Structure 1
Amino acid sequence: MSFEHVGRNKARQSSSHPHQIILNPLNQTEKELLVPDLGTDKVWRLTKWNDGKWSIHDHIDFEAGGSPRHIAARGNTLCTLLELTSKLAVHTFPPLPVPPTRLTSLFTLSALPIPDTMLAVEILLPEPNESFPETFIYTSNRNDLHSEGDTIAIFFLAAREGQPELVNEVCTGLIHVRGMVFGGDEDKYLVVGGVEGGGVKVFERIDGGKGLQEIGKLGEDVVGRPTGFL
C-alpha cells in the first residue's frame, strides 16, 4: 500500500513518511487504522475488509508543511501534533463515514515566533483517574536553545470540549527530547529521555496534573541516547 503525496517542506517532506500506526482508539471494532504521515500533511484512515486486507478509506488534511507526527484521542476529539510547525491540531472525530471537523490549532510553545529548528515531538493523553480527574494533554518540544533545555507543554482539556488551553510549560533540562511515557499507579510518573544530552529523567505529576516535578534521573553515562520506553 502506498501513500502518494508530497508536502511543502522539500527538506522533510520529499516523500510519504508515516510516523505512527495505531488502531482508532475511538473505534471499538478494531477495523480502522490511523496513520499520521509527516511527509504528506495527512492522517490516513485505513479500514479492514472482511477478507482481512486493509485499504485507504479516507484521510484528514492538515496545514501545508505542518507534518502530523503523532495523535491521541479522547471522547470524540482527535488531537494531532504537527512537528514542523509546533502546533496541536484538534478535530471532532465521529465514526466513518462522517468527516471530522477542525476545531482549533494551538502552538506548543508560548514564546513566538518559534525557530524553524524547533520541533514538536511527542503527545500523551493519559486517562483521567481518581488522583488526576481532569484531562491534560502533554506535548514535548525539542531543540530548544534555552539553558534549561527542552520543554513539555501541558494543555487542559475541559470535559466535552475541543478547545485545549495551554496552562504550563515545564523545562526538562534535557536536550533533544524524543521518548516520553507515563507509568506508575494512576500514571503518576512521566519518564522523559534526551537523545543529545541529559539522560533520562522521571517527573511526578503535581497540582492535579497541571505541573511536573523532577524526582529522579539517570545520566547519559548510564542511559545514552534514549529514544523510547516500554
Structure 2
Amino acid sequence: MVSFTILAGGYDFFVATYLFNAATSSLTVTRRSPTGQSPSWLSLHPTNQSLLYAVNEVAVGAVQSFSVSSTGELSQAIDTVSSGGDSPAFATALSTGAVAVVNYFGGNGRIIPTSNSVRFDNTAPIITFPIINGPETVSHPHMVLEHRDEVLVPDLGQDTIWRLKKGASGEYAIQGSIPQPKGSGPRHIAIFNDRLFTLHELSSTLSVQSIPRAPNGTVTTFATSSIIPPNPPAGAVFQAAEILIPKPTKRFPKPYIYVSNRNTAPGTQTAQGDSIAIFEHVNRGKLNEGLVLVKQVFTGLNQIRGMEFGNTENGGEEFLVASGVAGNAGVIVLKRTERGRSLEIVARNLDIPTRTSFVWL
C-alpha cells in the first residue's frame, strides 16, 4: 500500500485527517472533523475500524463516539457520555465492547458498556483509585491495558498499577495492584512475551518485570534503564510519555521497544528536539535478563506525547507517526530502518503545530 490515512487528536475542537504517501514521502492534512473540546486521545474499536472513540480532556470530562469513512471523515458525534471526572487523558475499547476511560485529575475512571458499540450505557459506576502514598498525594491514572481477564491501570500519582477484574454483577472493581518504585510515576505500560514493560514518567525510566500472580503476587524487576538521551540541554527536565512494542513481522522480526522522551522545561529545547529511544529486551529467562539501549533518534519535536505505528495488514508497520504537545514542529512520519534498530524521518507537515494522539485507518 502506498497511501495511508491517519487520524490525529489534540487540544482543539477537531480531529485532523492526514494522508501519508509513502512513494512521494508527502504528508498532507485533508480535513478537520469537528468534535467536542480537546479530543486528546483517540481509540478505534478493536474489530470495527469505522468506529472511533475520543476523549474530551476537560474539567468535566467526556467520551464521544464517531463513525469514520474510509477517507478519514468523522460523522457528527453519535453519542457522548461523562467520563466521571476531570481531564480524561486516555480511553480505549475493550474486547468486550466496553470503553474504558481514566481521569488524570479525577483520580478515577469508568468502564462503560456500549450498545452496538456506538451508544454508551451511562449507568456504569465510577471507579475511584485509592490514595496509598500518603494524604499529601493524589491519584493520576493515565492508561488502560486489557490483559487476559484483567484491566491494568498505571497510576503515576500512586506509583502502582491497579488490577481490575469484572465481578459477578458485571461491574469492574480493583482486586489488587503491582507496586512500582516510589516517585517513579508509572505512566504507560506494554506486555510482550509474558513480561510487563513500564514507562515511568517522573523518573524517565523503562523497566521490565514479571507479571505477578493476581491479585497481589510478588513482582520481580529484571532491569530498569534510563531513557534520557546523553548530553541533555542545561536545565532540561525530562518526563517519559509513550511506549510501543510493535508485533514482530517478517520485515521486522525482532520486537524492539520504542519510548518517547519529553523535555518539559521551558526555554531549554534545542533544534534537535526530543528523542525516541529504542531498546532491546535481551536474555529473557536468564540471570542477565535486561534492557539494552539500541539508539536515540532525535525528532525535532517538542514533548512527544503521542506516537503510533501503522497497521501490519496494509504494510503500514514500517512507519511511525509522531508529534509534540508543545512547540510548532507539526507532525512527522518516520520509517523503521536496520530492521527496526533505527528510525529516519521521511515526511513532515507543519499545518497544525501540535498533536497528541494518532490512529491509522
Question: Same fold per TM (> 0.5)?
Answer: yes
Please, which of 92, 98, 109 is the counterpart of residue 210 of structure 2?
Answer: 92
Q: Which residue of 2 aligns with 1:17?
A: 140
- Give the gaps of 5 or more residues in structure 2: 1-126
Report whether the alignment pairs 1:218 with 2:349. yes
Q: Which residue of 1 aligns with 2:95?
A: none
Q: Which residue of 1 aligns with 2:260?
A: 140
Q: Which residue of 2 aligns with 1:172?
A: 299
Q: Which stretch has the larger CA shift, 45-54 or 173-182?
A: 45-54
- Asked if structure 2 preserves the Cα contact closer than 8 Å seen for 1:134 and 1:158, the reply is no
Residue 173 of structure 1: SS of its match in structure 2? Answer: strand
TM-score, with normalisation over the residues of structure 2?
A: 0.57
Letter in 2 for 1:65: G
- Asked if structure 2 preserves the Cα contact closer than 8 Å seen for 1:123 and 1:139, the reply is yes
Q: Deviations over 1:58-110 (max 9, x none)?
A: 11111111110000010110000000110001101155354431111110124
2:232 and 2:333 map into 1 onto residues whose CA distance is: 30
1:190 and 1:100 map into 2 onto residues whose CA distance is: 32
Compare CA radii of gyration and give the structure with the larger one. 2
Count of aligned pairs between the two proteins: 219
Report whether the alignment pairs 1:4 with 2:130. yes
Q: Deviations over 1:157-200 (max 9, x none)?
A: 23745522111000001112111000051611000011222100
- Asked if structure 2 preserves the Cα contact closer than 8 Å seen for 1:78 and 1:92, the reply is yes
Q: Which residue of 2 aligns with 1:103?
A: 222
Q: Which residue of 2 aligns with 1:36?
A: 154
Q: Which residue of 1 aligns with 2:237?
A: 117
TM-score, with normalisation over the residues of structure 1?
A: 0.87
Letter in 1 for 2:321: V
Q: 1:50 offset after TM fit, Å? A: 2.5
**What percentage of residue pairs aligned between the two structures are identical?**
37
2:242 and 2:278 map into 1 onto residues whose CA distance is: 12
Q: 1:211 offset after TM fit, Å? A: 0.2
Report whether the alignment pairs 1:192 with 2:322. yes
Q: 1:112 offset after TM fit, Å? A: 7.1
Q: Would the alpha carbon gap of residues 84 and 7 (structure 1) be closer, same or farther in structure 2, given more than 3 Å must change?
A: farther
RMSD of equivalent CA atoms: 2.2
- Asked if structure 2 preserves the Cα contact closer than 8 Å seen for 1:75 and 1:160, the reply is no
Q: Which residue of 1 aligns with 2:358?
A: 229
Residue 121 of structure 1: SS of its match in structure 2? Answer: coil
Q: Would the alpha carbon gap of residues 2 and 104 (structure 1) be closer, same or farther in structure 2, given more than 3 Å must change?
A: same
Q: Which residue of 2 aligns with 1:50?
A: 168
Please, which of 191, 197, 204 is the counterpart of residue 335 of structure 2?
Answer: 204
